[in-house]
Copies of this chain bind each other. A is one copy, B any other.
């Protein structure tokens, strides 16, 4: 497989490992000699069932998911989970929400339809530039769960600790899952849209403590009932087969990188190199507070919108793609997901230094 060397810093959908794309291309017309593409396989066929089972087993092994928890491979994205979580777990009562960015705020707003939402903390006042400390969290005695978003893609902040709460933890790990080890047993529910660290868009992974299933409100759509989804092993209806297959290929690659432990070392080094440039710069202003910084999405600006635009344009011209910040945050954002090679990071930091030398007076 040959293609011009570009580096894709998109916040999601985002870069995939070369080896996964190569395998996908090789097997596209004819999967392992069966004569048809994975895209054409019945989800009830033994061929696809094997892909499904292997992928799920790989994910279970890589994340060390305990037997108390079930892995679901679903459609609908995080936005569907914003509703599914309160419908299934809130029991019409209350839940605590930590609002540390755009998506946790949307999750909290959605949950208001199904019960009382207590805002456990919010960093809205300072432009979502930080993650509140454990001592700042206001925990409600009647909360059925505590909800937070582990990594805030838009603002470039990341929780550096797992909150201590009496209520079960529910966590949106869309943008940092598989980037480091996680003690899954501490969580009631983890979920992640696949289109950042895992697979193409169209797959959502949910990992749920089976003890929490079966509490859904009567108005919960059948396809959103965790109990039903567990019982049908994610196949109440046709699953997003191609994305599940791609997740399997990504996990195969990830195992070869030393699993989540390997990924953690690499992602720390990737982020270190970019933050080092930012911290030694007189041009770039990093957005996130030290201590809340994300290793996955690094946000910064020059303070001059025209210069920001020039930075993004010049980067694209040399194959450093999708560095423009999200519209609600502005500035620049470099997403350094698992599949971003270190050469891409070095190409970025070289460009950053060059751009600064040229533009800082």
Chain A residues within CB distance 8 Å of chain B: 1-6, 8, 10-16, 21-22, 24-25, 28-30, 33-37, 39-43, 45, 75-80, 82-84, 87, 110, 113-114, 193, 195, 200-203, 218-219, 221-224, 236-243, 246, 319, 321-322
Nearest 3 interchain pairs by C-beta: A83-B221, A202-B240, A6-B35
| A14 surroundings in chain B (CB, below 8 A) | 40, 42
- For A14, A39, A77, the residue with the greatest tally of chain B CB atoms inside 10 Å of its CB is A39
Among the listed B6, B114, B222, B241, which residue makes an inter-chain contact with A200, where contact means beta carbons less than 8 Å apart?
B241
A240-B24 contact, Cβ under 8 Å, with A10-B41, A321-B35: no
Do A222 and B76 touch across chains, with their CB atoms under 8 A apart?
A: no
Chain A at the B interface: SS class: loop
Cα distance A224–B76 in the bound complex, in angstroms: 10
Do A40 and B16 touch across chains, with their CB atoms under 8 A apart?
A: yes
Minimum CB distance partner of A195 in chain B: B238
Among the listed B34, B77, B113, B195, which residue makes an inter-chain contact with A223, where contact means beta carbons less than 8 Å apart?
B77
Minimum CB distance partner of A38 in chain B: B200
Do A24 and B16 touch across chains, with their CB atoms under 8 A apart?
A: no
Do A21 and B29 touch across chains, with their CB atoms under 8 A apart?
A: yes
